[in-house]
């Protein structure tokens, strides 16, 4: 049996205030000890970039200063963390999530399904949905709007993920409840770390982030949830062996019972 202490930090990043946002995270996590910590989407920069040029100005590569600071947080926590950042890669810019420990980057995911004005600022992800090892536990990542596409979580589950870390900046009201289905239909743990607060950096586009960060178990049980409008540090203990059991009844296995020959994969 593998029991992990998992955590998430829900807060309101200030746009463009990278140093200050990292300092807030360091303060919130100062006394935290855990195996895995999940932070929100674009947690170092804030969300609402005006255009691609502005996103490029804040984007960092895998050796950037924010990664080093986040590695320091992971070291003090005694485990690994997943953080959403703006990534620079050559002339491309991605809305990415990094899996980081005290040594630096362990894994990388680039958001596949861009939402709204993200399409004006970022390139669509090109790494698919990889799964990474945390000891004997396998972890996958997706970001915010990826939740709407069941193929995202299913791809990770088919690749062996026990846990799906899900940094988010949610503004629509649907995701938190939908993650019950995503966890249940794949028999995995999901950790959705959403932000709070508001941003209005584009004309007539005021964004209000919905909080309610949520951890869900493989049977669809909501394990714990944050408030809609307050910063929160939330922890929970999970037995990851539960995510290895794909039986939903004595005679039904969610993978063995699939019928890919009957499915349509293209419009």
CA 144 – CA 183 distance, rounded (Å): 15
Catalytic: which of 29, 43, 77, 144? 144
Catalytic: which of 111, 121, 175, 199? 111
> What number of CA atoms fall less than 13 Å from residue 75's CA on the CB side?
10
Catalytic: which of 29, 34, 41, 121? 41
Sequence-ordered strand ranges (E) for the chain: 3-10, 36-38, 80-89, 92-101, 104-110, 131-134, 137-141, 163-167, 189-193, 198-199, 207-208, 214-216, 222-225, 232-239, 247-249, 252-253
Whether 41 sits among the annotated catalytic residues: the reply is yes
> By three-state DSSP, how is residue 162 classified?
coil
Whole-angstrom CA distances from 151 to 8, 157, 159, 213 are 24, 10, 12, 22
Q: Residue 78 CB: number of other CB atoms within 10 A? A: 14
Whether 144 sits among the annotated catalytic residues: the reply is yes
Whether 26 sits among the annotated catalytic residues: the reply is no
CA 118 – CA 22 distance, rounded (Å): 23
Whole-angstrom CA distances from 43 to 168, 179, 230 are 9, 21, 16
CA 258 – CA 49 distance, rounded (Å): 41
Task: Provide the annotated active-site residues.
Answer: 41, 111, 144
């Amino acid at each position: 049996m593998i029991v992990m202490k998992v955590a998430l930090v829900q807060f309101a990043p200030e746009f463009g205030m990278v140093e200050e946002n990292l300092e807030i995270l360091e303060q919130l996590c100062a006394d935290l000890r855990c195996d895995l910590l999940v932070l929100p989407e674009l947690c170092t920069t804030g969300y609402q970039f005006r255009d691609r040029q502005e996103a490029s100005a804040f984007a960092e590569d895998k050796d950037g200063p924010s990664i080093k600071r986040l590695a320091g947080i992971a070291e003090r926590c005694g485990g690994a963390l997943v953080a959403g950042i703006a990534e620079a890669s050559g002339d491309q810019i991605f809305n990415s999530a990094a899996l980081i420990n005290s040594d630096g980057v362990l894994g990388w995911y680039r958001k596949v399904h861009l939402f709204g004005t993200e399409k004006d600022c970022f390139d669509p992800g090109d790494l698919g949905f990889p799964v990474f090892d945390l000891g004997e536990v396998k972890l996958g990542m997706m970001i915010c709007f990826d939740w709407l596409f069941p193929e995202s979580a299913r791809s990770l589950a088919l690749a062996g993920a026990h846990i799906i870390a899900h940094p988010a900046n949610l503004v629509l009201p649907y995701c938190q409840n939908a993650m019950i289905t995503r966890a249940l239909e794949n028999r995995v743990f999901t950790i959705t770390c959403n932000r709070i607060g508001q941003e209005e950096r584009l004309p007539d586009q005021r964004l209000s982030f919905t909080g309610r960060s949520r951890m869900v178990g493989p049977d669809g049980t909501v394990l714990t949830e944050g408030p809609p409008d307050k910063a929160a540090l939330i922890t929970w203990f999970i037995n990851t062996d539960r995510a290895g059991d794909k039986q939903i009844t004595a005679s039904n296995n969610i993978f063995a019972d699939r019928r890919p020959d009957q499915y349509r994969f293209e419009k």
